Amino acid sequence: MRIAVIGGSGHIGTYLVPRLVRAGHEVLALSRGTSHPYSPDDAWSSVTRVTVDRTAEDAAGTFGARVAALDADVVVDLICFTPESAVALVDALRGHTGHLLHCGSIWRYGVSHKLPMHEDDTSPPFGEYGVQKAAIAELLAAETRGGGLVTTVVQPGHISGPGWMPIGPLGNLDPGVWQALCAGEEIAVPGAGSELLHHVHADDVAQVFALAVEHRDAAAGQAFNAVAPSALTVRGFLEIAAGWFDQPLRTRSVSWDEFRAGTTAEFADASWEHLHRSQFASLDKARTLLGHVPIAEPEEAVREGIAWLIEHGELEVRNPLVGSGRRL
């Protein structure tokens, strides 16, 4: 099939595009042309690159027509963040494309009430990102139920892998937690320490997308969680990560007010957003309907990302990781 991947050189596209090429598809990767895949792969030599600024063309009302003109059998949209953008693309592709796959998020669910969280969870989303992702998922499902464009939503957890900073044990992107862990320094932990973080390796997300492409009928109108087989508690994550540097874990429980006073507003807000949700999503549906077999546990996905950052000089730590930290 001819497959267009919007946001093809990003976290998920880095792994999805080569998977699709190796499966024998003709792949077009759409991006602004300012970035490169996070991991090299010979399959990229067979990919057609299409330079497009989605934000600018959405504003001009031309993006949907641009994608429709590619005459793709399948469109994978990895960078849609508003219902308005989703509607414009659906309207343009209806009758021209056989299958639209959208990258959602487990943040379409709100605070966890019953674990694991399944795709029919009705906990109300909160925050702009979660609310918008929920709205997009609902409108796409309604489109397919109404006999329109066939759509599928894939909902990743906290995407991790080589090339970028993963969500850390405190639920934010502060590199200081890794520097403190490697030095055996005390870490101030807000909340109970039993809150959950649900990561996933980018390649596992790519696998769910690729399987949904291959099993279109099973995926039609469906949403699938794309997460690691297990989730990490805050204290468990900290203990595991301290062991990567062969250091003992030293923590101190603090109130949220005390935690906020000791970090930036950005990091504190991110921690609250992640830890307040405390999510653990089920993989059962992707396993049953698509045959998904996850590759990496959450700590493996995070460790691979941290190892990459250290090796490339983007994260300075006092002590090296024990072992290579490489998954493959």
pLDDT at 45: 94
pLDDT at 326: 47
> Cis ω on the peptide bond leading into residue 166 (within 30° of 0)?
no
Domains of the chain: 2-159+200-226 (3.40.50.720), 162-198+230-277+297-311 (3.90.25)
219 close to 297: Cβ distance less than 8 angstroms: no
Q: What is the pTM (predicted TM-score) of this model?
A: 0.96
Query: What type of residue is 249?
Result: L
pLDDT at 33: 78
Distance of CA 306 to the CA centre of its chain: 16
CB contact burial 221-242 (16+ within 10 A = b; e otherwise): ebbbbbbbebbbbbbbbbbbbb
pLDDT at 324: 52
pLDDT at 301: 97
User: Which pair of structure tokens corresponds to residue 193?
Assistant: 């320490």
pLDDT at 322: 82
167 close to 158: Cβ distance less than 8 angstroms: yes
Mean pLDDT by 10 residues, the chain (328 residues): 95 96 97 82 93 94 96 97 97 96 98 96 96 98 98 98 97 97 96 96 98 98 98 98 96 97 98 97 98 97 96 90 58
pLDDT at 2: 98
pLDDT at 128: 97
